[in-house]
Amino acid sequence: MSAFQQEIVDQNLQQVFSNDYVAVYTDASKRVLVCQTLASYIPIHTFKASFLQCSGLIAKEGIERFIFDKRSLRAFHQPSMEWYFVNWKQEMYHEHGLRIHRKILPQEQWFQKCVEAGRHEIEQRHPENIFSKLDITYTGSIAEALHI
């Protein structure tokens, strides 16, 4: 069990589903959904399928806080991320009122710069997006993401 998975155990989160690339957990009492990546790269069709499965849970459980733990990733697939930012988040906000997003990035500075560059490009291409309406914060651990 990785250290990241150990954090899930420590927080008593229940697994909802998983595949080779992601594992999704919940704490229904807290209306929290955690999506933890398991591989260094996620193909776009798996990424979209996993997030669409999360959409169903968000609608069903009335999820108010979504935690995306990307610590295993080493490749930032721009089309996936653009879809995640522009389509999925927007739909979650307008359809289900999901506003609170907590993200956990790998410790490596170079990867964080890559994320910054990717996000900058998305913001440039979609200036009218709802970024400002969302409560997005980067945290260092699952425990922190659950409370901040």
Partner 1 sequence: MKLSSQVAISNSDTEQEKRVLEEHVKAQEEMLARTTTYLMQVQEQLEASRKELFEQNKSLERMVDRRTAELKQAVAKLEKEAQQRESAQQSLYIANHELNTLLYRSSHDFKGPVSTAFGLLSLIGDRIENPEVREYVQMLQHPLRKLEQLTRTITTIADIRQSQASLEQTDLTPLLDKILAGFRQQQAAQYPAPDLSIKGSAVLRTDEYLLENILQCVLDNAFRYRKPATEHKVNIHVQPYYKQLKITVSDNGTGIPQNLQHRVFDMFFRGSEQSVGSGLGLYLSKIAVDKLGGRIEVRSEESMGTSVCILLPGL
Q: Which is nearer to partner 1, 76 or 131 (CB)?
A: 76
Q: From CA 64, how far away is CA 93, in angstroms rounded?
A: 10
16-55 mask for partner 1 (x: CB under 8 A)? ------------------------xx-x------------
The helix (run of H) or strand (run of E) holding residue 118 is: helix 109-125
Per CB under 8 A, 125 contacts partner 1? no
Q: Phi and psi (nearest 5°) for 42?
A: -125, 125
Q: From CA 72, how far away is CA 68, in angstroms rounded?
A: 11
**Given candidates 9, 59, 75, 143, which one binds partner 1 under the rule CB under 8 A?**
75
Q: From CA 43, how far away is CA 22, in angstroms rounded?
A: 11
Q: Which is nearer to partner 1, 47 or 66 (CB)?
A: 47
The helix (run of H) or strand (run of E) holding residue 144 is: helix 142-147
Q: Is the dihedral of CA 34, 52, 30, 23 positive or negative?
A: negative
Per CB under 8 A, 113 contacts partner 1? yes
Per CB under 8 A, 108 contacts partner 1? no
**Given candidates 117, 133, 137, 143, which one binds partner 1 under the rule CB under 8 A?**
117
Per CB under 8 A, 84 contacts partner 1? no
Q: Which is nearer to partner 1, 30 or 113 (CB)?
A: 113
